[in-house]
């Protein structure tokens, strides 16, 4: 083996190493976690800051990698052809093609990309100094390719839609849970925060028939009894009918200034916030904080009272149910057998449809309201009807309301 052959082999080894570098760098920059890199950059990691800067100009990075990779692969194939032709004559072209294809695939593509995929951030930070030099060296060629890209974009009217959707965010949370980055409780909290703005006030309100309120003219003994029996810390106050709510009173204020003092009820009434049913609860939370209020009255289209929403109701949509020592813990959904549930009539219809993985296309809020709308009447106790793959039986009802139902999920026909 003469010196020229050794030189050719040495050049081929260098070319394969460069091909491996370009392949691994491409995989690293396409697979890296930008959030992780941002956090490293904020912590003072200069390499991470450089990677973040380059990733924001990914077209130039990708163009540089592809140009460099093609140059070294074509050059290595040419050198290998010269080397094998020298030893094997015309058969050397075929042998060179087979050998270089195997070498490039194993050492220039598959192996480096697999390694870079396992730790993309680390490899990107390792490669960034070399990549910065290559970007400068190949800048004229990159400029031509950028012009070509702009021409293609105009010719084919390519749109650049990079805004992350809510569904993509939820998928990221699910992937983080599967990877063990966050636990199920954290994931549920994040999902609640993401979906928080999708809910309207009428999705979480307490309907007017379930609202406990007091008349302005009620004796203080009756008011004290209502506070005692309900355990509520605040009660709405109405004048005449519940459609004319004028404010709310605090239990402490009532006890100190009315029950055990000489003040009148009108002196301790706090102003209440009036909202529309379609107000987003994210805006409602901000409004309640701004007004320093704990209760909002939801007005219907006629100006009457559709129901009330408390600050606790809003917060529960973020963190789940909040129970205190006065609350009677009542589960709206109880599994009583396999594919069989006991559901309260006041339960949220959307939650029931989510439980059975069905689409909620109805305008009503509660399960009882949906049944009355669906049947166009109030059903009697013991009555059964079918909806899609559900068999629903009325277990508790009166002349106007449905209090409880049993739901059986039937197997879906394949």
What pTM was estimated for this model as a whole? 0.51
**pLDDT at res. 328:** 53
What sign does the CA torsion over 346, 347, 348, 349 have?
A: negative
Instruction: Report domain 206-319's class.
Output: alpha beta
Determine contact, residues 27/120, Cβ cutoff 8 Å. Answer: yes
CB atoms within 10 A of CB 342: 17
Beta bridge partners of 392: 385, 407
Distance CA 142, CA 147 (A): 9
**pLDDT at res. 364:** 74
Express each pLDDT in 301-360 by its tens digit: 888 888 899 888 888 777 766 555 555 556 778 888 888 889 888 887 878 888 888 776
CA dihedral 31, 37, 39, 44 (to 10 degrees): 160
> What contacts 252, CB < 8 A, 6 or more positions away?
233
Burial (CB count within 10 angstroms: exposed 0-12, middle 13-18, buried 19+), residue 223: buried
First to last CA, the chain: 70
What residues does CATH 3.10.580.10 cover in the chain? Answer: 206-319
Burial (CB count within 10 angstroms: exposed 0-12, middle 13-18, buried 19+), residue 236: buried
Determine contact, residues 284/314, Cβ cutoff 8 Å. Answer: yes
Express each pLDDT in 347-379 by its tens digit: 878 788 888 887 766 777 788 888 888 888 888
Which of 61-75, 171-185, 239-253, 320-334 shows the lowest per-residue confidence on average (mean pLDDT)? 320-334
pLDDT exceeding 90 applies to what percent of the chain? 9
Give me the CATH code for the 333-409 domain, please: 3.30.465.10
What residues does CATH 3.30.465.10 cover in the chain? Answer: 333-409
pLDDT exceeding 70 applies to what percent of the chain? 87
**pLDDT at res. 414:** 43
The two structure tokens encoding residue 123: 């490899």
Nearest residue to 235 via CA among 257, 216, 213, 252: 213
């Amino acid at each position: 083996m003469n010196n020229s052959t050794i030189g050719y082999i040495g050049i081929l080894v260098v070319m394969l190493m460069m091909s491996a570098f370009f392949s691994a760098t491409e995989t690293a920059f396409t697979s890296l976690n930008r959030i992780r890199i941002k956090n490293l950059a904020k912590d003072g990691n200069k390499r991470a800051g450089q990677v973040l800067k380059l990733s924001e100009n990914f077209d130039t990075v990708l163009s540089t990698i592809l140009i460099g990779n093609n140059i070294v692969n074509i050059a290595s194939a040419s050198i290998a052809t010269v080397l094998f032709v020298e030893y094997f004559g015309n058969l050397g072209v075929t042998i060179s093609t087979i050998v270089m294809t195997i070498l490039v695939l194993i050492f220039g593509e598959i192996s480096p990309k697999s390694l870079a995929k396992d730790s993309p951030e680390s490899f990107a930070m390792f490669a960034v100094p070399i990549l910065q030099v290559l970007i400068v060296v190949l800048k004229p060629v990159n400029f031509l390719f950028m012009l070509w890209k702009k021409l293609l974009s105009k010719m084919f009217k390519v749109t650049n839609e990079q805004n992350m959707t809510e569904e993509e965010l939820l998928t990221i949370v699910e992937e983080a849970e599967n990877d063990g980055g966050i636990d199920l409780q954290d994931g549920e909290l994040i999902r609640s925060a993401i979906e928080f703005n999708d809910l309207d006030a009428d999705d979480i309100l307490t309907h007017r028939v379930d609202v406990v309120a007091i008349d302005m003219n009620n004796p203080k003994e009756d008011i004290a009894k209502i506070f005692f029996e309900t355990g509520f810390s605040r009660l709405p106050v109405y004048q005449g009918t519940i459609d004319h709510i004028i404010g709310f009173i605090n239990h402490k204020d009532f006890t100190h200034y009315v029950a055990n003092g000489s003040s009148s009820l009108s002196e301790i009434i706090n102003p209440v916030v009036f909202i529309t049913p379609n107000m987003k609860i994210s805006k409602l939370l901000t409004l309640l904080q701004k007004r320093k209020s704990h209760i909002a009255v939801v007005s219907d289209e006629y100006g009457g009272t559709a129901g009330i929403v408390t600050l606790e109701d809003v917060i529960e949509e973020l963190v789940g149910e909040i129970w205190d020592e006065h609350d009677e813990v009542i589960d709206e959904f109880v599994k009583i057998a396999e594919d069989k549930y006991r559901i309260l009539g006041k339960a949220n219809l959307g939650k029931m449809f989510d439980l059975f993985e069905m689409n909620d296309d109805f305008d009503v809020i509660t399960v009882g309201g949906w049944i009355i709308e669906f049947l166009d009447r109030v059903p009697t106790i013991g009555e059964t009807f079918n909806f899609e793959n559900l068999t629903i039986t009325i277990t508790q009802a009166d002349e106007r309301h449905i209090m409880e139902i049993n739901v059986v999920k039937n197997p879906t026909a394949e």
